[in-house]
Chain A
Amino acid sequence: MKVNLRVWRQTDPVDKGKMVDYTVEDASEDMSFLELIDVLNEKLILSGDEPIAFDHDCREGICGACSMVIDGQPHGPERATTTCQLHMRKFPDGATITVEPFRAGAFPVIKDLIVDRNAFDKIIQAGGYISANTGSAPEAHSTPVPKAAADRSFAAANCIGCGACVAACPNGSASLFLGAKLTHLGEMPQGQPERWDRVVNMVETHDDAGFGGCTNTGACATACPKEIPLDVISQLNHDYLKATVGGRRKK
């Protein structure tokens, strides 16, 4: 199949960047979107051009490395699918596809389609963990977890931290990411000791990084390749309110 690509090219963080048109004549409909760019890059290299830089790692839809906004949608048009799992059969033959990097003030472009997502790492460092003494694993039955809590925690733990929620959000907010991490840890008994510090520290780091506030548009949950539910943001607000106004957080 033939595919026309309009790709954002930017040589470095200071470069202004522009859209460049490419055509791939011999694409296969069984290719993933990343493989399409691999093929294009091989041609670019052979013709002496700079290949298109893009993030990728596992190509199994579980690592959160691949990004890109395809035709105005983070990870492309298919629901609950990362770019690496998006196949060319989802596009018509001769399609013109626009490919851009994630756009957010907190995610500056490094090169072409690669953005700097360190802001997410900083948020995780601020509280997206539990502190546990190492040693032999304790007996699993010694810490009972209600089924509903385990299910909700699991659903939130699906978050791969790719940043599609930020890319889709009209406010450039990372609330869905924040909410996913807080729900994932907050539903578990192991997450309780640090729960109230976690929410305050993570929210502060989120704001520091230059992410915007949530207006509950729901765009994030629609764009999320892991279908993180919107109600994790309610959980985030709930925990923040309890920690600060409710005085649960010990200073």
Chain B
Amino acid sequence: MHWTTELLSSALAHVATQVSTGGPAKAPATPARPKRPLIPGVLLKFVMALSGAVLVLYLVVHMIGNLQIFWGPTAINGYAEWLRTLLEPVLGWEGLVWVVRIALLLSVVGHIWAATVLALRAKRARPVKYAAGNKVKGSYTARTMRWGGVIVLLFVIYHILDLTVGVANPVGEHLRPYENITAGFAPDRWYITLFYVISLVAIWFHLKHGLWSAIQTLGRSSNRREKTLKAAATVFTTVLIVGFLIVPISATFGWI
């Protein structure tokens, strides 16, 4: 296809080197090609898609569980207790919770590791920026995946300190989610609620692209299905995020 280019390029490169250096004394101009990557990029994307899927499944359960707060303190505190009794005969008290936590940790580590490797490769693959800017940008959600992901990670760390460990929460009592939530999102702590809202919007952006992208990465998208899949991803993400949002907002406005 580009056999002409190939012939031309070697000849041109030769001539060009001589022009600039005044002789063949200088080392050949071809830049060093990177070594073979250990893991193909496509496989790293599979890691991202599958670990992302685990995290999304967890978010669905998490969101539905949160809604118990609208049934009062006994409902949600009882739910927290019940989660720890699940499969107790086999795994012991809180056993399943720890199994889920380890699965989540592995998924998060896998997701971030693959993203970092791919981001570093992408940086090498596009070392020079366009003087006129890149006008063919692609979707906004896709372009904000990396930094958006960092924001989501920072939020998750704070969220765990707030409502799992309890150190960032004014009550922070174990197995008392109702008290923790209502105190954590109390009206005078509106800035915490605002932080949660902004973070959840960031997650909305991340998932809106991530869900569809995962389907494409797993080879399940097609021209015919692309629009439907994208719409389904948007609806799913919106329902999920609204489900999360109403809890802190309701706590701040005293609707619980």
Contacts and interface: CB of A to CB of B under 8 A. Distances in A.
Contacts of B45: 213-214, 237
Contact of B132 (A57, A100, A207, A210): A100
Interface stretch (B23-31, B90-98, B194-202): B23-31
Contacts of A98: 131-132
A3 interface: no
B34 A210 contact: yes
Interface in B12-35: 12-13, 16-17, 19-21, 26, 29-31, 33-34
Nearest to B32: A210
Contacts, number: 219
A9 interface: no
B89 interface: no
Residue from A57, A77, A212 whose CB has the most chain B CB atoms within 10 Å = A212
B7 to A, nearest CB: 11
B31 A108 contact: yes
Contacts of B4: 57, 65
B30 to A, nearest CB: 7
Interface string B123-163: 01111111111111111001101000000000000000000
Interface string A210-244: 11111111110011000001110111111111101
B132 A13 contact: no
A14 interface: yes
A14 B26 contact: yes
Contacts of A168: 134, 136, 138
A237 B40 CA distance: 11
Contacts of B43: 240, 244
Interface residues of B, number: 64
A212 B122 contact: yes
A236 B45 CA distance: 12
B255 to A, nearest CB: 39
A191 interface: no
A114 interface: yes
Nearest to B217: A237
B121 interface: yes
B221 interface: yes
A246 to B, nearest CB: 10
B226 interface: yes
B129 A234 contact: no
A104 B126 contact: yes
A124 interface: yes
Contacts of A73: 135-136
B127 A105 contact: yes
Contact of B143 (A104, A118, A170, A222): A170
Interface in A182-212: 203-204, 206-212
A118 B12 CA distance: 14
15 contacts: A11-B16, A12-B13, A72-B130, A72-B135, A100-B130, A117-B5, A168-B136, A170-B137, A208-B34, A212-B41, A212-B118, A212-B121, A213-B41, A222-B136, A234-B222
Interface of B: 1-6, 8-9, 12-13, 16-17, 19-21, 26, 29-31, 33-34, 36-37, 40-46, 118, 121-122, 124-139, 142-143, 145, 209, 212-213, 216-223, 226
The 3 nearest A-B residue pairs measured at CB: A238-B219, A217-B138, A172-B125
